[in-house]
């Protein structure tokens, strides 16, 4: 099945593929690589593990990129995989044409205009010139049990996992305002992931794909997210701390 998915990537756009997988009830898995947390010399071996796993996408980005490593990391990743490489930017500087696409994130759970629209304005021309496939994404930060880099950098508070109504209304507002994807994020290093019942509530009310990430550290939690209705699950910190986790995700 995963070999077939890889073939599809070459024929249709990234977003069309996500829609097709959603229609066919095929669950997607993205590996998030933070340029600040990986050394260029280790990329080849890391991507070899990714290629041997059930991963279908690679996200690249982080809350910060102080050393401007993103471009070099993306170039190195592209040498060793045919999987789509999608930018997951923390700010307007994290744009490089070497990737295949970009999640054009708007932090709709926060009320800081810097991350609702200002960063997007600053990035617009670079993205236009890059020819990257742009996927407008409503980014919703959910309380994962600890302060995350996203909350700290964006100066926004996450939504409590107890506030079902606000999470749902925020997701719907994202869809109604034209986002093509909603991303529920507990944040990198979260102690708890987004609860399955929250995922199910949001999923049942959306007509666009749902991505879920943050705090997911094992197969059980991946399956909980899928069971809730996530179309794509994102794993990052789990691989950074325990590369052997790939052994549990082999094709």
What is 2-6+13-245's CATH number?
A: 3.20.20.390
Q: For the chain, what are the domain ranges?
A: 2-6+13-245
SS3 content of the chain, % helix, strand, coil (to 5): 45, 20, 35
Q: What is the mean pLDDT of residues 97-107?
A: 98
> Does the pLDDT value for residue 3 go beyond 70?
no
Q: What confidence tier does 247 reach under pLDDT thresholds 50, 70, 90?
A: confident
- Percent of the chain residues topping a pLDDT of 90: 86
DSSP state of 147: -
Could you tell me the pLDDT band of residue 2, with boundaries at 50, 70 and 90?
A: very low
CA 242 to chain centre: 19
What is the pLDDT, as a whole number, of residue 11?
Answer: 55
Q: What local confidence, expressed as pLDDT, does residue 64 receive?
A: 86
Confidence grade of residue 50 (pLDDT, cut at 50, 70, 90): very high
Give the model's pLDDT for residue 151. Answer: 94
Mean pLDDT of 210-224: 95
* pTM beyond cutoff 0.85: yes
**Model pLDDT for residues 22-49, shown as the tens digit of each residue:** 999 999 999 999 999 999 999 999 999 9
Is residue 9's pLDDT more than 60? no
pLDDT tens, 120-150? 999 999 999 999 999 999 999 999 999 999 9
Write the burial class of residue 157 (CB in 10 Å: 0-12 exposed, 13-18 middle, 19+ buried): middle
Confidence band, pLDDT 50/70/90 cuts, at residue 8: very low
pLDDT reported for residue 244 = 81
């Amino acid at each position: 099945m995963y070999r077939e998915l890889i073939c599809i990537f070459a024929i249709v756009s990234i977003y069309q593929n996500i829609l097709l997988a959603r229609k066919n009830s095929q669950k997607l898995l993205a590996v998030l690589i933070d340029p600040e947390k990986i050394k260029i010399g280790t990329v080849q071996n890391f991507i070899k593990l990714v290629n041997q796993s059930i991963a279908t996408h690679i996200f690249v980005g982080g809350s910060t990129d102080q050393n401007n490593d993103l471009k070099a990391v993306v170039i190195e990743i592209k040498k060793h995989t045919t999987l789509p490489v999608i930018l997951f930017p923390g700010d307007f500087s994290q744009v490089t044409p070497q990737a295949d696409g970009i999640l054009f994130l708007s932090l709709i759970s926060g009320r800081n205009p810097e991350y609702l629209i200002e960063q997007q304005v600053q990035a617009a021309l670079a993205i236009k010139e890059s020819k990257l496939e742009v996927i407008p994404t409503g980014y919703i930060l959910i309380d994962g049990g600890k302060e995350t880099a996203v909350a700290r950098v964006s100066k926004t508070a996450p939504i409590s996992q107890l506030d079902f109504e606000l999470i749902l209304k925020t997701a719907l507002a994202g869809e109604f305002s034209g986002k093509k994807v909603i991303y529920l994020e507990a944040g990198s290093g979260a102690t708890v992931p987004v609860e399955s019942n929250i995922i199910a509530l949001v999923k049942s009310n959306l007509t666009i794909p749902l991505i879920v990430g943050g705090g997911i550290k094992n197969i059980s939690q991946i399956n909980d997210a899928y069971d809730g209705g996530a179309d794509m699950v994102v794993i990052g910190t789990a691989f950074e701390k325990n590369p052997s986790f790939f052994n549990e995700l082999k094709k």
